[in-house]
Structure 1
Amino acid sequence: MTLRTRLFSLFAPLLVLTLLAVYGLSERLLLSRFDQQDNLRLQAEAHKAHALLLAHIHRTSSLLRSYAWWDGSYELLLGEGDRSRFLRRNLDPGQLANLDFDFMVLLDDRGQVVVEQWAPPDLLDMLPVGGERPRSIASLRRDILARSQRLGLLQHGGDAQFQSGQLLLVQGVPLLLTVSAVSNSQGSAEAIGSLLAGYFFDGARQENLQLRTLGDLRLLPPVAMDDDWQRLALPADTPLPQGWLSPRSLLDAQRQRIELQSANSLGEPELRLQLTGERINFRKGGEAIHFFLGLSLAIALAAALLVYIGLEFWVLRRLGRLNGEIAAIGDQARLPRVGDLGRDELGALSTGLNQMLERLEQSEARDRVVLDAIHDGYFEVDAEGRLQRFNRALERLLGYRDDQLLHRPFVELLAGDEVERARQLFQQARDDASPR
């Protein structure tokens, strides 16, 4: 394995593991925090929608009480007023529209209608939910009065303070219904009847509620609730309906949903409000994380490229040159020196190699002096049997000059009967010297 491959095998896995660790931590920590912010934001919108509905009920209840605690309504129930005159002056359709009511009904203690006015929107303008559809205005009227009686909204028990507001679903049509006990203008007299009023959630009213909340809002039939639904807090002794908030559900990576359900005075689920919103923080956070990871990857790759270039020009090529210069050192009479590689560790290595070659050359010079001083012939041969080094005694014994002996096969210097034996000894010496 080359040094380049070894360095790459060390660097690349570390880079990949680092990026995967950053991605995993960002997914677990950052995106979960962004998702929690989206959840809190959707819950806040659901609470806001619930507060808006309660504010509508409170406003209409307060407005209805001004009619219920009025001497004109009280005297009419006592039989002292003119019904047609009361209806014409106080409950004409235009006045109902100004009060934002679709109907108003005055009933006595027995639940009998004394006077009433109905000005609902057209059936085609109503927005029924579920599979049920309103059959007629008359059937809607009958069911609303019957539902009011069943829920105990007309049973004030003589208490002039009695008041209630409900969100109901009648024949698939969602409506806001309020009732107040009828008393004199001071509210001091015993209640002798009930005033019932409300309005239907048509397209305009639902759009008004939609504009005041973030997300897509839908009115739906009620569903069964489990223990995961959260009971919403209400002021003590309030005539407002109880509400429950569902856990958040994720539709996909872009959208989330939460539901708000209202109950009637008997605690029965009546109307469900579904709020669907975008996971803005999650989506934008994911985009930011992906951009950051992409940018980090680009920076890491650029850094890796710069590191590779630095290693190539300042380390690997210098090592290659040093290796080439060392490999070129052979059996020259004077050993060459490696080039200067700078002032770093490689430069110190080249300096150390040059010092080693200098000492080796000095040692060979001393050996040469010693060999030239002896009277016996001495020579060295290479793997092919050619003379490489010899002393002066050998030159004198053989009668050859230095240039005549250098690189000459040693067998040429032997007598014919000694050649084969010398070759066998030479081959045996080579075999003994070869690595096993």
Structure 2
Amino acid sequence: MNLRARLLLLFLPLFAASLAGVWMLSDSILLDRFDRGDRQRLADEVRIVHKRIAFEKQRYLDIVRSYAWWDASYAFMHTPDPKFVTENLDIDMLGFLGFDYVLYVDRQGRIVGQQWGLDNLSERIPGAPATNPETLQRDILKTAIELGALDVAGDTRHSIDQLVQIDGVPQLLLSYPISDTDGHAEPAGAMIAGVLFDKRRMAGLEDQMGAHLRLTSDASSDSTWRPLNIPNNRGATLLSPRQLLGRNTQQMSLLYLNSKGQPQMRIEVSSPRPLYLQGRQSIRLFLYLAMALLAVALLLAYLALELWIIRRVRMLNREVSSIGPDDNQQRLGSLGEDELGQLAGEMNHMLDRLEQSEARDRAILDAIRDGYFEMDHKGILLTVNAALCRMLGYSAQDLVGRHYSLLLPAEDARRAQALYIQVRDDQRETTFSAPFKCGDGRLLNCETRCSAIRDNQGVFGGFRGILRDISQHVAYQNQLIDLAFRDAVTGLGNRKAFDEQLPAAIIRCERVALLYIDLDRFKQVNDRFGHATGDALLAAVGERLHNSLRQPDQAYRLGGDEFAVLLENAEPPQAESLGMRLLQVLGSPYELSGQTIDFVTPSIGIAFYPQDADDAEDLTRAADVAMYQAKQERNRCQRYSAI
């Protein structure tokens, strides 16, 4: 068998095996990675839907509480008056609040006052069974009582907020005990309200989420469903595994259970699989191009072997063997016009190119956008490219010969040292992210990917790596974190930020002062001017708080019209002086959309750590108590007193 046939038998099987291997690996690894990205995206969308529904539940529950904890509601339960329902719960007000029905029920389960907006159920909820409105109203009351709406036992904070299906109608069922405005009086019954999940509300959720949502009456589940939260007296939520609806669509479901563990509502969240489909198309295009390129390369290789190698290799061998390893300038001599002479010329060109390789490599490194570096085994920089110098603001002379710790803060330099040891011992590539010191003194967030340099015998000689600027990515992540801890209406810290920073302040500081602020008569603003004006007033209060503090980031909106101010290492006279100043600042009239609002004043409660409390929970409770004491007279600053 001649050399040509042997080469064909060698390369053709390798060519076929390589293509088959690339095909199999792309399907098993790359497509699986793309699919995991789509699956994670769907899981994130489902969690966003769950959190949004939880937010809506809490928002509607706060509205119910504001009506249930109202002296007028409490008086109505003791002395029913039809005018109360007409004036406070007419059908327009019901729609404005977002409810579809509201009931005032005494402790014996009798309806004292009611307002219903259950018209056109078949149009609003497609697929809902035809139900007599009177039967549905009776079953709503029955379900609320079964779920414990009247099981208050003197607890004015006993409430329910559960997603249920009653007579096939999906809805959010809410209840709160009826007490006085302070919530101290013995409950006189319960206020029951509901929000139907009709086409309009589902469409609103879809617009907010960017995914397709569908309510279904199928409430079945199995052991593959996992809980999203810990079951409690407010029910639980189960999350289904991902299901594929054909090749282009994926779906996960949320199943809501009531407080008795009974399945009630199932929401299906569907979204496309863009990463998988794009990855599949890209892989197929890559394979087709690879096949074409490999076929062309194979053809060219065959021609080259036939014309320049197979017939000349013996003649070339003698000339090449005469070149010694130390003769860097030696070249192949001219052997005339025959094939050997031409090959000798090509070999001489190759030797020239080899001598120029270092210069060419340097030009390539200087042309890339990412920084490149090489270090010896001690961490001394040996080589840097122009992109790294531009990125960090140094010259090559400033960096070459210096230890890499010049570019890192002390703590990050120690962390980098541990990672470099791991690279040296494990012989694998490692990614390291940290702020790097620039020549002008600023810090630049960068990511470096480092690998070991080893010779032909595997002896370790140093490190090489790529440095990439990730400052925009880090800034975007920090922006997302800030949004999670920022109240959308006022721009102050939200409840989550308060709950994290108060315990941290108590651990960090010897003294902590907490001011609890509640706006008097804020509900009248919403009732008289609308919630838009109410939100504008809250924003104005937030701005005044922000401008009144030396550290504005220590002001928070806890929800509704409640605010808090956290002072670290503050003496009682300082905190009380701030409270008196805030009384004047927050109690001044507000000019909002052409309206002058001069009846809203603050009531401020002040508590101190460690004088009034030993931990964050007790300090919050003490400030809340002081605030309610101040609210008895309104527009007053009250320090906590245990008596």
The one-letter amino acid paired with 1:267 is G
Higher RCO, 1 vs 2 (CA within 8 Å, ≥6 residues apart): 1
Q: Is the 8 A contact 2:101 2:117 kept in 1?
A: yes
Work out which of the residue numbers 117, 120, 137 in structure 2 matches 1:119.
117
SS in 2 for 1:265: coil
What fraction of aligned residue pairs are identical, expressed as a percent? 35
Q: Is the 8 A contact 1:54 1:240 kept in 2?
A: no
Q: Distance in 1 between matches of 2:12 and 2:139?
A: 75
How many residue pairs match? The answer is 322
User: Matches of residues 209-228 of structure 1 in structure 2 within 5 Å?
Assistant: 209-228=205-224
Q: Distance in 1 between matches of 2:141 and 2:222?
A: 31
Structure 2: 5+ residue runs without aligned partners? 314-336, 345-643
Work out which of the residue numbers 131, 144, 157 in structure 1 matches 2:153.
157
SS in 1 for 2:340: coil
How far has the Cα of 1:119 moved from its partner?
1.5
Q: 1:116 to 1:200 in 2, by over 3 A?
A: same
Corresponding residue number in structure 2 for 1:46: 46
Q: Distance in 2 between matches of 1:39 and 1:16?
A: 33
Q: Distance in 1 between matches of 2:165 and 2:241?
A: 23
How far has the Cα of 1:285 moved from its partner?
1.6
Q: Distance in 2 between matches of 1:71 and 1:157?
A: 20
Corresponding residue number in structure 2 for 1:264: 258
Work out which of the residue numbers 90, 107, 110 in structure 2 matches 1:109.
107
User: Matches of residues 178-257 of structure 1 in structure 2 within 5 Å?
Assistant: 178-233=174-229, 240-257=234-251
Corresponding residue number in structure 1 for 2:14: 14
Deviation track 1:219-251 (CA, whole Å, cap 9, x = no partner) reads 1124332222111126x97x7431110111222
Question: Is 1:282–2:276 an aligned residue pair?
Answer: yes
Corresponding residue number in structure 2 for 1:172: 168
Q: Distance in 2 between matches of 1:35 and 1:341?
A: 56
Deviation track 1:313-344 (CA, whole Å, cap 9, x = no partner) reads 3356889xxxxxxxxxxxxxxxxxxx954248
The one-letter amino acid paired with 1:272 is R
SS in 2 for 1:212: helix
Q: Distance in 2 between matches of 1:153 and 1:295?
A: 68
Q: Distance in 2 between matches of 1:298 and 1:153?
A: 72
User: Matches of residues 131-150 of structure 1 in structure 2 within 5 Å?
Assistant: 133-150=129-146
SS in 1 for 2:260: coil
Q: Distance in 2 between matches of 1:51 and 1:112?
A: 34
Corresponding residue number in structure 2 for 1:93: 91
Q: Is the 8 A contact 1:87 1:116 kept in 2?
A: yes
Deviation track 1:247-267 (CA, whole Å, cap 9, x = no partner) reads 112223222111110011111
**How does the TM-score come out when normalised to structure 1?**
0.69
Structure showing greater radius of gyration is 1
Corresponding residue number in structure 1 for 2:394: none
Q: Is the 8 A contact 1:45 1:213 kept in 2?
A: yes
**How does the TM-score come out when normalised to structure 2?**
0.47
Q: Is the 8 A contact 1:250 1:257 kept in 2?
A: yes
Q: Is the 8 A contact 1:127 1:173 kept in 2?
A: yes
Q: Distance in 1 between matches of 2:130 and 2:152?
A: 29
How far has the Cα of 1:295 moved from its partner?
1.9
SS in 1 for 2:238: strand
Q: Distance in 1 between matches of 2:343 and 2:92?
A: 99
The one-letter amino acid paired with 1:181 is P
How far has the Cα of 1:124 moved from its partner?
2.8
The one-letter amino acid paired with 1:127 is I
How far has the Cα of 1:195 moved from its partner?
0.3
The one-letter amino acid paired with 1:117 is Q
How far has the Cα of 1:3 moved from its partner?
4.6
SS in 2 for 1:257: strand
SS in 1 for 2:209: coil
Q: Is the 8 A contact 1:134 1:173 kept in 2?
A: no
How far has the Cα of 1:7 moved from its partner?
2.5
Q: Distance in 2 between matches of 1:2 and 1:223?
A: 73
SS in 1 for 2:295: helix
SS in 2 for 1:226: coil
The one-letter amino acid paired with 2:270 is T
CA RMSD in angstroms, aligned pairs only: 2.4
Q: Is the 8 A contact 2:139 2:166 kept in 1?
A: yes
SS in 2 for 1:286: helix
Q: Distance in 1 between matches of 2:90 and 2:245?
A: 47
Corresponding residue number in structure 2 for 1:427: none
SS in 1 for 2:93: helix
Q: Is the 8 A contact 2:308 2:343 kept in 1?
A: no
SS in 1 for 2:170: strand
Q: Distance in 1 between matches of 2:234 and 2:58?
A: 8
How far has the Cα of 1:181 moved from its partner?
0.6
Q: Distance in 2 between matches of 1:37 and 1:240?
A: 33
Deviation track 1:377-424 (CA, whole Å, cap 9, x = no partner) reads xxxxxxxxxxxxxxxxxxxxxxxxxxxxxxxxxxxxxxxxxxxxxxxx
Q: Is the 8 A contact 1:262 1:270 kept in 2?
A: yes
